[in-house]
Structure formats: C-alpha cells, structure tokens
C-alpha cells in the first residue's frame, strides 16, 4: 500500500495555481488592495503509518504544497484500528477531517447520512471516469459518489512454499477438506499452520465471511443485510466449518493477544517464517517485509478453497481496497489534491512499488511485482465480489461480525450464537 512521489503538477492543478497568481488587473483586489491567495488548510488522515507508504505520501504532500504555497496539508497517519476509533469519535460530534481513509460500503453510507462525508460527484466529474468502475463502485451510494479509490485487491491465502514442501504438501488446497488436511500435515511436521491476529479481530472475520460465501453464496449475504436476519442454516454451517478449523488449534501461540502489523503480530509471524499461512489482502507481502522479513520467491498465493456442496463458486472473491472520502466542509483544494495523487502518471509510479494494485484505467501493465501479479491474475478470473463485511454493513453490524467471529474462534461463542448476535445488532440499527 504505497504511493510514490509525482514529478509534475497536473494540468488542472497548474491551472489553479495560475489562476491564484492572477494580476490585480485580472481580478478584484482583496481587502487592503492586494489580490492575495486565501490560505487553505487541509487535514488529511490516512492509515499508511509504516513503510513504504508513510514517507512517500509525506513527500507528495510537500510537493503539492510547494506548487500551491497557499495550501497547508496537515497529515495525521494512524494505525488502522486507532483510525477507526478516532473516526468514530469525531463522527459522533458531527465533525471530521477534510480527507480521510475509507473502504466504502455501509460505513461510508452512515458517514454520508450523518453529514460527515461530502457528495463529490460534481467535484470530480471531469476525472471520475479515469477509475476502473469496479474500484469506484464501493464509494458510490444511491447514485452519488462520496469517495475515490487508491487501491483494490482481494483476500486470499499467502503461504510459505518452503514450509509446505517440508510438510509434504505438493500443491495449494483447492477444497476445504484438502485445506484441513494441509493444516494437519503442517502440525504433524511441527510447523504452525496459520498466523492470526486475534487481538485485531478483523482478520478473523475473513474466514467466516469466505465460508459463508462458499456455502450460502453471495446473494445470501446481500439478502441478510436487507432483511436484517443472519439466522440462515448456511451461515450456521459456516460457523461450524470455522469451529472445525479452530478445534485443530492451527494458530500461533498467543494468537488471541496478537495484533496484525507489529513485530509480535500476524504479519511478522509470516514474514519470519514462523507460520505457513495467513488469510490476508493484497498488502500482506509489504507488511510482512516491514514487520519481519521478505520471504522472496518462497511466498505464494492461492484463493480461498471451495466448500464441497456449497452454493457459492470458488471464483467469488472477498476484498475491497483503500480509498479517500472528503469531509463535508472541505475546501475545493481537497479534491484537487486527490486528483494530484491519483493521476495516471502517479498511479504507474505507485503500482511500480509493488504495494498498490491498479484502480486507474490503462495502468494494469504497470504491475511488475510478482506478488501483485498473483493477486491480479486471480482477481481477473473472479465471477463475483464481496466487500469486507465490516465495511459493507453498517459500523455496528460490521463490528459485531468481527467480535462474534473472534469469540467463535476463541471457543466462547457457538455458531448459532454468532448469527443470533449479528441479527440482533442488525435489527437494532
């Protein structure tokens, strides 16, 4: 998840700069007889608080400010969960930053309904067509656009080929039965099968969501959200399958207290070779490298296995991407800055880092990183797409999914109790 520095200003940005520098004869003088540019401050909250994203976006903001001396961009990089907590707090007060991280879906809908996120449909009309429609769709609500994407991808299993070979596993599992067999073989070989950030909770919900997709099919998840009822036998079956996995004790020691992106977390367990698999999004290799090490050619990727007899197809993907929403009171320069960092030229540089996947049309060939190609190749074959449930659903419902699945994995909640808790939360909305 990284961006690289841009060398030149976009034509629109340059036009804005020239307009701001008009002579007194070309525009009415400001108070005091001077045509001074109005000072603008943009508060930008993002979650790229580690390498390689943090310094790159900092450099891009500085470049933009150098080209627009009247603009000051205050950058506030936050850890993922810290961002969500802080955003929830400011949203309750009816305020928010000018530009902030979003994943779209139900959370963004609630922010729009609450007067936090701005309808930017008209503001980006001259460049919204540069995005891949699928990437932009998560930020379009009720025919209006409330955000723009900077990354898209999918969740799948990242695995250590060397550890698979050591355990006698010749190829990635294609079915749930084969997956459980692989877990058993890894344990028998003295290898921790799966790294999981139990403390963070959101990584665990990927398992339940994928199993629900494979067993019930995508329409069932959409219908459940509309009906506000998740007490579907297929969803209970998804919990039973996950419990079946958890009962094998496949996760690293201390996983219940493990975060995701710290030296003692899930990504580090993978990057250091202490675990054979993690179910994670396209950013996983970058975080592995940042927190522990780069597995190099030993790192592979495979889609979540099919569940025998399920209604869902193995080609249906769970995922999403990162994007930015604009605060309702943000100055016009906020969307201009987004246009600056999301131009096709910048997109190619961003993709070249290996930390971002294409959202801008015509930049797909810029993917040179082998790990990125793994995800792009699988995603290109996807026949269906589900946004992460903790983003697709309203915040309270998404949080309940995360909490209940975490309790299921910990052995303190049954599959039936999981769907009941999610249903109760949905109906209380």
Is 38 a residue whose pLDDT tops 70?
Answer: yes
Does position 12 have pLDDT exceeding 80, yes or no?
Answer: no
Q: How far apart are the first and last CA of the chain?
A: 33
What does the pLDDT look like over 358-389, one tens digit per residue? Answer: 999 999 889 988 999 899 889 888 888 899 99
Instruction: For residue 372, give the nearest of 259, 281, 293, 264 by alpha carbon.
Output: 281
Reported as a single tens digit per residue, the pLDDT across 245-264 is: 999 999 999 999 999 999 99
Q: What is the mean pLDDT of residues 76-85?
A: 91
Contact at 8 Å (CB) between 383 and 218?
A: no
153-162, 183-192, 275-284, 340-349 — which is least confidently predicted? 340-349
pLDDT given at position 352: 77
CATH of domain 40-149+320-382: 3.40.190.10
Nearest to 240 by CA among 398, 8, 416, 9: 416
Percent of the chain with pLDDT over 70: 92
Under the banding of pLDDT at 50, 70 and 90, the label for residue 10 is: very low
Residue-wise burial string across 30-55, b where 16 or more C-beta atoms lie within 10 A, e elsewhere: eeeeeeebeebebbbbbbbebebbbe
pLDDT at residue 30 in the model: 38
| Mean pLDDT on 32-48 | 78
CATH 3.40.190.10 residue window(s) in the chain: 40-149+320-382, 154-315+390-428
Which H or E element spans position 206? Answer: helix 202-216
pLDDT in tens, 419-428: 999 999 999 9
201-249 residue pLDDT tens: 999 999 999 999 999 999 999 899 999 999 999 999 999 999 999 999 9
Greatest Cα pair distance in the chain: 82
More confident residue, 59 or 40: 40
Residue 11 has a pLDDT of: 32
pLDDT number for residue 29: 38
DSSP 127-173: TGGGB-HHHHHTTEETTEE-EEES--EE-EEEEEHHHHHHTT--S--
* Cα–Cα distance, 240 to 242 (Å, whole number): 5
**Can you give the pLDDT at residue 37?**
81
What's the pLDDT score for residue 36? 61
pLDDT on residue 18: 31
d(CA 379, CA 396): 29
Of 21-25, 308-312, 380-384, give the lowest mean pLDDT range. Answer: 21-25
Q: How many CB atoms lie within 10 A of CB 363?
A: 22
For residue 291, pLDDT beyond 80: yes
Question: Spelled out in words, what is the top-level CATH class assigned to the domain 154-315+390-428?
Answer: alpha beta
pLDDT at 397 over 70: yes
Q: Which residues of 123-143 are buried (b: 16+ CB within 10 A; e: fewer)?
A: bbeebbebbbeebbbbbbbee
């Amino acid at each position: 998840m990284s961006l690289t520095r841009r060398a030149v200003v976009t034509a629109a940005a340059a036009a804005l700069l020239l307009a701001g520098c008009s002579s007194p004869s070309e525009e009415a003088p400001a108070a005091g007889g001077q045509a001074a540019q109005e000072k603008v401050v943009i508060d930008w909250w993002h979650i790229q608080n580690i390498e390689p994203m943090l310094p790159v976006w900092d450099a891009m903001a500085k470049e933009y400010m150098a080209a627009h001396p009247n603009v000051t961009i205050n950058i506030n990089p936050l850890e993922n969960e810290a961002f969500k907590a802080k955003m929830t707090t400011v949203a309750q007060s009816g305020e928010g930053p000018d530009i902030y991280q979003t994943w779209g879906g139900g959370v963004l809908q609630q922010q729009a309904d609450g007067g936090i996120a701005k309808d930017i449909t008209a503001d980006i009309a001259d460049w919204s067509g540069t995005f891949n429609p699928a990437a932009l769709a998560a930020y379009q609500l009720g025919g209006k656009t409330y955000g723009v994407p900077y990354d898209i991808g999918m969740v799948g299993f990242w695995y250590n080929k060397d550890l698979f070979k050591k355990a006698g596993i010749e190829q990635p599992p294609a079915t749930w039965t084969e997956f459980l067999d692989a877990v058993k073989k890894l344990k028998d070989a003295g290898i921790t099968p799966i790294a999981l950030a139990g403390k963070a909770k959101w990584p665990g919900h990927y398992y339940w969501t994928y199993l629900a997709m494979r067993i019930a099919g995508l329409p069932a998840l959409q219908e459940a959200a509309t009906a506000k009822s998740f007490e579907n036998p297929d969803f209970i079956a998804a919990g039973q399958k996950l419990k079946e996995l958890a009962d094998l004790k496949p996760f690293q020691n201390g996983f219940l207290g493990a975060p995701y992106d710290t030296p003692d977390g899930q990504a580090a367990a993978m990057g250091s070779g202490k675990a054979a698999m993690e179910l994670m999004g396209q950013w996983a290799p970058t975080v592995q490298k940042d927190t522990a090490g780069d597995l190099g050619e030993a790192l592979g990727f495979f889609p979540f296995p099919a569940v025998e007899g399920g209604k869902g197809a193995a080609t249906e993907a769970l995922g999403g991407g990162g994007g930015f929403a604009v605060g309702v009171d943000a100055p016009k320069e906020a969307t201009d800055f987004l246009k600056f960092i999301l131009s096709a030229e910048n997109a190619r540089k961003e993709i070249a880092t290996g930390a971002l996947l294409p959202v801008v049309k015509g930049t797909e060939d810029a993917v040179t990183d082998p790990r990125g190609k793994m995800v792009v190749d699988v995603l290109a074959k996807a026949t269906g797409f589900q946004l992460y449930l903790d983003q697709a659903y309203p915040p309270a419902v998404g949080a309940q999914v995360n909490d209940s699945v975490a309790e299921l994995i910990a052995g303190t909640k049954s599959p039936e109790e999981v769907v009941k808790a999610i249903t109760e939360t949905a109906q209380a909305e």
